[in-house]
Amino acid sequence: MTRIAVIGAAGRMGKVLVQAVHEASGVELGAALVSPTSTLLGADAGELAGIGKVGVNLKGSLADAANDFDVLIDFTNPELTLANMAECERLGKQIVIGTTGLNVQQQATLHDYAGRMPVVFAPNMSVGVNLLLDILHRAASVLQEGYDVEIIETHHRHKVDAPSGTAIRLGEVVADAMGRDLKQCAVYGREGIIGPRSDQEIGFETVRAGDVVGDHTVLFATEGERIEITHKASSRMTFAKGAVRACAWLSGKANGVYDMQDVLALKG
């Protein structure tokens, strides 16, 4: 039985993760973490998540919960995620990371840690999105000649990074299938007199509004037709279930960085 710790258990995503772990088979909620200064310390994680008592009280550090979990789910922020990786390495734990917005240096640090511990790192834990990535690679391989590519994403008003990690991953998949370097061909938003669109660019448009959980569309357009591949998330539970699935899968794996494509056996 894989024992899971959820960090940020008092937040929007954390509460959903607590519920997802509690409802899943083959895993159990071993620990739930909040800030060490939180007034919620000691509260039952299940009651906070609205699912009733689960017998796991909120703690303020991974060290305090060291004997209670095998793998940590982290959907926090880049700086805290890297600090949690360091602590998980020290404690001999595994980690599943859904944090987005890591810069190049932070990603390099993450991969360095992963040389000494098994890690699942994915910008989107949704099973549907990861299946979409597989479909998208095939579509982009066929549509690479004569089709313009635009990626449009919408999230709630509280999201702090843009474009979303998922949108960037969609762009990477398209660029790879088309033999392009996303760093060279990505265009993030447009304004003013910019001239005609180039044949090679992959455009990104970002919308932030209301309580949208996450919508992503990849548009392929040419003279006479358009193809749109879309995923819409209406609940954070889809990400939470994927993260829990990744925790169960990670048990016993060798050191290294894995993603949801590995978890779902979508890699050829």
Question: Which domains are seen in the chain, by residue range?
Answer: 2-121+236-263 (3.40.50.720), 127-233 (3.30.360.10)
**pLDDT tens, per residue, the chain with 268 residues:** 999 999 999 999 999 999 999 999 999 999 999 999 999 999 999 999 999 999 999 999 999 999 999 999 999 999 999 999 999 999 999 999 999 889 999 999 999 999 999 999 998 999 999 999 999 999 999 999 999 999 999 999 999 999 999 999 999 999 999 999 999 999 999 999 999 999 999 999 999 999 999 999 999 999 999 999 999 999 999 999 999 999 999 999 999 999 999 999 987 6
- Predicted TM-score (pTM) of this structure: 0.84
* Residues contacting residue 205 through CB under 8 Å, at least 6 positions apart: 150, 151, 152, 153, 189
The residue to which tokens 């509004």 are assigned: 209
What gap in Å lies between CA 108 and CA 49, rounded to an integer? 34
Supply 18's token pair. Answer: 């607590």
Q: List alpha helices for the chain, DSSP H.
A: 12-23, 45-49, 78-91, 104-114, 127-142, 165-177, 182-185, 237-250, 260-263
The residue to which tokens 């993260």 are assigned: 243
Active site residues: 155, 159
Q: Which amino acid, residue 11?
A: G
